[in-house]
Structure 1
Amino acid sequence: MNLIDKATEAYPQYSTSIEKVLLNAQKLHEYEKNKPNNETTTKMWAMLIDTDKNLLAGFFKRWKNETKLSASFTTEAKKQIEEAMQILLKFEGQKSKENRTLLENFVIKNQ
């Protein structure tokens, strides 16, 4: 989330850090994909790393393309990304029916 706050600055100075974050997210997606009965978590990670979605990888793609993003856009995008990450972490922390429903609803809403 701290890196997202830097999007009002020039992309190139953060490109190495962004690549590391995206690589780690891709690794987590692969890890989750290979666990049994883990379709919902896998879908969420797929959304986070999809450059055509408005979440993590999509945000970084836009920042790269525009070099700098406005503070208002960054603030709103960060809220969406934070919500996705919090829902995912909550589900991973406690795989209850309620948390699964939250995760599934987020995935459906953002497909």
Structure 2
Amino acid sequence: MKLYNSILTLTISLIIWSCSSISVFSPEAYKQAVNLKVESLELMSFATEPYSDFSEDIVYLQTELKKAYEFSRGRPDNEISTKQWEILIDEEGNLLGGFLKRWETEGTLSEMFVNEMQMLVSDAFDTIIGLESGKIDPSEFK
């Protein structure tokens, strides 16, 4: 009887999980995430140099990141991806937003810190990209 209850609970959980709504695949969102990953990691590589030398590039990147967040937020049933964007760009957090804020505050960052942060930011972008690529393409519904 315990085994039956365990299997029943697992089955019900899987059914509920599989029925949760998730946005459909968006080639635009996928491309946006890939492009921003490349641009972000490239800009981060210059953080060993003075922030002031790259302030315009940083403002541009931050604007593009906010656009990606707003695009994600505006898509129906896209809360998980939107939350990942929030975490990535949060200036008080420990990913890209926090990195850029720290660069601004400190002026320059150590190469070791930059390299470590690039790995973390790359992984965060990979999560967003993976979430998007795992969604069903609307053309598959036909």
Tell me whether 1:6 sits opposite 2:46 in the alignment.
yes
Count the aligned residue pairs. Answer: 96
- Report the equivalent of 1:60: 100
Structure 1 unaligned spans of 5+ = 97-111
Counterpart for residue 65 of structure 2: 25
- Could you list the per-position Cα deviations for residues 16-43 of structure 1 after superposition, in whole angstroms to 9, with x for gaps in the alignment? 0011111111111111111111000000
Q: Does 1:16 align with 2:56?
A: yes
Given the alignment of the two structures, is residue 74 of structure 1 paired with residue 111 of structure 2, yes or no? no
What is the percentage of aligned positions where both structures have the same residue? 35
TM-score normalised by length of structure 2? 0.65
Pairing 1:86–2:126 present:
yes
Amino acid at match of 2:117: A
Moved over 3 A (4+): none
Q: How far does residue 95 in structure 1 lie from its aligned partner after superposition?
A: 2.1
- Looking at structure 2, the residues matched to 92 and 21 of structure 1 have their Cα atoms a distance apart, in angstroms, of 21
Choose the corresponding residue for 1:36, options 76, 79, 84: 76
Larger Cα Rg: Structure 1 or Structure 2? 2
In structure 2, list runs of 5 or more residues that go unmatched.
1-40, 137-142
Paired letter, 1:64:
E
Of structures 1 and 2, the one scoring higher in RCO (CA 8 A, sep 6+) is 2
Report the residue type matching 1:49 in the other structure: I
Deviations 1:38-76 (A, max 9, x none): 000000111112100111111000000000000111111
The match for 2:38 is none
Distance 1:40 1:74 in 2: 27
Aligned to 2:23: none
Separation of aligned partners in 2, 1:33 and 1:7: 29
SS of match in other structure, 1:28: helix
Partner secondary structure for residue 6 of structure 1: coil
For the aligned residues, what is the CA RMSD?
Answer: 1.1
